[in-house]
C-alpha cells in the first residue's frame, strides 16, 4: 500500500503564500500587539490570499491552524482573554471561511468557536476543558459562518458535495 505523503509546513509572508502551489499546512501566526490593538489587516491579508482563487481555496482546504503569539506566559486560556475574543470576532465578521480552511483533528475549530461563543474553562490536574454555555449560540455561530461562506463556494463553483462534506467534518469536530 503506498504511503500517503504528509503536507509540508511553509513559513512565509503574504507574498510567498500567494505564490505557493504545493499542499501545505498553514500556521497563521497572529502577534499579540496586533490582537491588543485590534489590528486585523495583516491577518486578513493572509486569509484573503488563501481564499482569493478557486485554486487556493482547494489547495488550502482544511489546512489552516492559528497561533496567538505572545500569550505563552499568560495563565489564562485564549478564550478567557477579552482582547483575543474581540480580535477573532472582528476578524470573523470580515472573513467567514474558517470552517472550510481550518485543519481537522487538531482542535482548531473548537478553539475558534470557543473564541466566538460564551464558554467556561474547567481546569483539572494541569489540563483544561471548554464548556459551551449556550448550545443555541454555538449552532447560530456555526450556521452564520457556513451561510456567509457559501458565497465562496458559488463563486468558485465548488461542488455542493464538497461543501457539505467539509461542513460535516467541521461539525463532527465539536460533537
What does the DSSP 8-state code read for residue 67? E
Which neighbouring-strand residues pair with 67? 29
Q: C-alpha cell of 3? A: 504511503
How high is the pLDDT of residue 5? 58
Among candidate residues 92, 91, 99, the one with its CA nearest the CA of residue 57 = 99
How high is the pLDDT of residue 18? 77
In sequence order, the 6+-apart residues with CB closer than 8 A to the CB of 46 are 14, 17, 28
How high is the pLDDT of residue 95? 98
DSSP letter for each residue of 110-151:
HHHHHHHS-EEEEEETTEEEEEES-HHHHHHHHHHHHHHHHH
The pTM for the full model equals: 0.91
How high is the pLDDT of residue 78? 97
Query: Do residues 31 and 70 touch, judged by C-beta distance below 8 A?
Result: yes
The pLDDT averaged over each successive group of 10 residues in the chain (175 residues) is 60 74 87 98 95 95 95 96 98 98 96 98 91 97 97 96 96 92
How high is the pLDDT of residue 25? 87
CA–CA dist 38, 78 (Å, integer): 15
Amino acid at each position: 500500500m503506498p504511503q500517503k505523503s504528509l503536507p509540508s509546513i511553509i513559513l512565509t509572508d503574504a507574498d510567498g503564500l500567494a505564490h505557493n502551489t504545493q499542499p501545505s499546512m498553514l500556521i497563521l501566526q497572529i502577534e499579540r500587539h496586533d490582537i491588543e490593538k485590534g489590528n486585523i489587516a495583516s491577518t486578513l491579508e493572509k486569509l484573503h490570499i488563501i481564499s482569493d482563487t478557486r485554486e487556493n481555496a482547494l489547495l488550502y482546504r482544511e489546512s489552516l491552524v492559528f497561533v496567538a503569539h505572545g500569550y505563552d506566559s499568560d495563565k489564562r486560556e485564549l478564550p478567557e482573554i477579552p482582547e483575543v475574543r474581540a480580535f477573532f470576532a472582528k476578524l470573523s465578521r470580515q472573513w467567514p471561511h474558517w470552517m472550510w480552511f481550518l485543519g481537522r483533528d487538531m482542535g482548531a475549530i473548537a478553539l475558534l468557536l470557543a473564541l466566538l461563543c460564551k464558554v467556561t474553562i474547567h481546569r483539572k490536574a494541569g489540563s483544561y476543558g471548554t464548556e459551551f454555555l449556550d448550545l443555541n449560540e454555538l449552532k447560530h455561530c456555526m450556521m452564520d459562518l457556513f451561510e456567509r461562506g457559501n458565497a465562496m463556494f458559488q463563486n468558485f463553483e465548488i461542488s455542493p458535495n464538497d461543501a457539505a462534506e467539509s461542513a460535516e467534518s467541521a461539525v463532527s469536530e465539536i460533537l
